[in-house]
């Protein structure tokens, strides 16, 4: 593996290093539906339970896929928790300066699920969401205490965030209206938002700029030569926003706008350096993917067999890490300022 990749790690890469070879098993096993969720009154079912309590707003974070061994859904084992913790330790830094963090363990769909049939995959993801939904419900009742909220997830975690928006944030019921009014933003990175989703679920509102609130921030990175991926299938157009210029059109953002691509220690996940002005980006007018410019594709291999060369999915958060980190703060400040203006 290229030396550079030993530092620029995200959860799935680390998981595959721990469980070589780097390929997905095609399983013939039948996916069975869950009959109940985990018990989120137990502290042991929370990775983060109000970390950074000095912050006045919350983030409910859902982890990406870290299970590469199970045939369908993960079991909550010490090894799974270790991988889960490593993945989230990397991502929580985007939000830690702004929000207190809540992140449940859940029996996510394993990486192998993405090689199953659509029906089997959806059943495994529905199983995973049963836990996420139960955790969110418990969080709202026992932990949130009315604080403004950010939803955040990457890859499978982003998929779960969309499902939370679909289940809890729609309609004119008192609870749904209150949740929408209390939502700073949803960072659903690495999973496509589509016009079909927005039309079916009007509570899924695409971000239009840098500081609008109650919106969804979404993108997935490619090199411009990809025509099909699990995240953005061929024939699908994603609704994305550029994290460098915060535009939704195809205007190119120069690399000078990139405030920091991070590198990390391969063992601890700690950020070891920040490179300013490394990569630019623009939104592909046909696929809606975020095209990264000034980048050597060979330095960012897809790693997983389910992705083709030029898919930078594994690096979505870290190519534009500082811009995302600052944007979380700016949107939160915009939200709190609007609340203060209403109260004045």
> Tens of pLDDT along 29-77?
589 999 999 999 999 999 999 999 999 999 999 999 999 899 999 999 9
What CA–CA distances, in Å, run from 76 to 132, 240, 330? 14, 33, 36
Whether residue 203 has pLDDT greater than 50? yes
In tens, the pLDDT along 210-266 reads 999 999 999 999 999 999 999 999 999 999 999 999 999 999 999 999 999 988 766
pLDDT in tens, 279-329: 999 999 999 999 999 999 999 988 888 899 999 999 999 999 999 999 999
Please state, in angstroms and rounded to a whole number, the distance separating the CA atoms of residues 69 and 219. 27
Tokens encoding 149: 């909220």
Please, is 37 exposed, middle or buried when counting C-beta atoms within 10 Å of its C-beta (0-12, 13-18, 19+)?
Answer: buried
Answer whether residue 14 shows pLDDT above 50.
no
Residues 6+ apart with CB under 8 A from 306: 24, 111, 114, 115, 230
User: What gap in Å lies between CA 239 and CA 215, rounded to an integer?
Assistant: 12
Question: Quick one: which of 344, 335, 338 has its CA closest to 58?
Answer: 335
Span 66-106, pLDDT tens digits: 998 999 999 999 999 999 998 888 789 999 999 999 999 99
pLDDT of residue 306: 84
Average pLDDT score, the chain: 90
Residue 10: predicted pLDDT: 41
Measured CA distances, 72 to 63, 110, 112, 153, 201 (Å): 16, 6, 7, 20, 28
| 8, pLDDT greater than 80 | no
CB 294 within 8 A of CB 280: yes
Instruction: Indicate the length of the chain as a whole number.
Output: 344
Q: Tell me what pLDDT residue 268 has.
A: 59
| Lowest-pLDDT choice from 11-15, 134-138, 337-341 | 11-15
| Degrees, nearest 5: CA angle 81-85-88 | 140
β-pair partners for 185? 150, 215
Q: CB-based contacts of 322: which residues, under 8 Å, 6+ apart? A: 258, 259, 260, 261, 262, 274, 276
Predicted model pTM: 0.92
In a 13 Å sphere around the CA of 214, the CA atoms on its Cβ side amount to 14
- Average pLDDT for 197-220: 98
């Amino acid at each position: 593996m290229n030396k550079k990749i030993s530092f620029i790690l995200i959860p799935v890469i680390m998981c595959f290093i721990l469980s070589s070879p780097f390929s997905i098993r095609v399983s013939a096993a039948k996916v069975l539906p869950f009959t109940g969720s985990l018990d989120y009154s137990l502290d042991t079912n929370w990775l983060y339970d109000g970390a950074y309590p000095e912050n006045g707003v919350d983030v409910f974070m859902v982890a990406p896929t870290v299970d590469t061994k199970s045939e369908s859904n993960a079991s909550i084992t010490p090894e799974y928790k270790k991988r889960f913790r490593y993945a989230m330790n990397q991502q929580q830094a985007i939000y830690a300066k702004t929000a207190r963090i809540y992140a449940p363990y859940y029996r996510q769909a394993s990486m192998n699920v993405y090689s199953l049939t659509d029906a089997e995959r959806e059943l495994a993801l529905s199983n995973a969401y049963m836990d996420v939904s139960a955790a969110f419900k418990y969080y709202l009742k026992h932990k949130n205490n009315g604080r403004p909220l950010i939803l955040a997830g990457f890859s499978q975690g982003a998929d779960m965030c969309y499902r939370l928006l679909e289940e809890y944030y729609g309609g004119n019921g008192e609870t749904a209206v209150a949740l929408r009014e209390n939502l700073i933003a949803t960072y659903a990175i690495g999973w496509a938002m589509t016009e079909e989703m927005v039309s079916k679920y009007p509570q899924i509102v695409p971000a239009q700029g840098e500081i609008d609130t109650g919106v969804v921030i979404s993108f997935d990175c490619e090199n411009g030569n990809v025509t099909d991926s699990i995240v953005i299938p061929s024939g699908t157009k994603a609704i994305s926003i550029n994290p460098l210029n915060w535009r939704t059109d195809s205007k190119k953002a120069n690399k000078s706008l990139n405030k920091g691509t991070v590198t990390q220690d391969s063992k601890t996940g700690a950020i070891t350096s920040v490179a300013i002005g490394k990569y630019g980006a623009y939104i592909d007018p046909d696929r809606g993917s975020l095209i990264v410019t000034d980048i050597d594709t060979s330095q960012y291999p897809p790693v997983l067999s389910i992705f083709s060369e030029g898919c930078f999915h594994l690096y979505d958060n870290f190519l534009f890490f500082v811009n995302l980190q600052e944007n979380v703060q700016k949107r939160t400040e915009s939200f709190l300022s609007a609340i203060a203006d209403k109260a004045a």
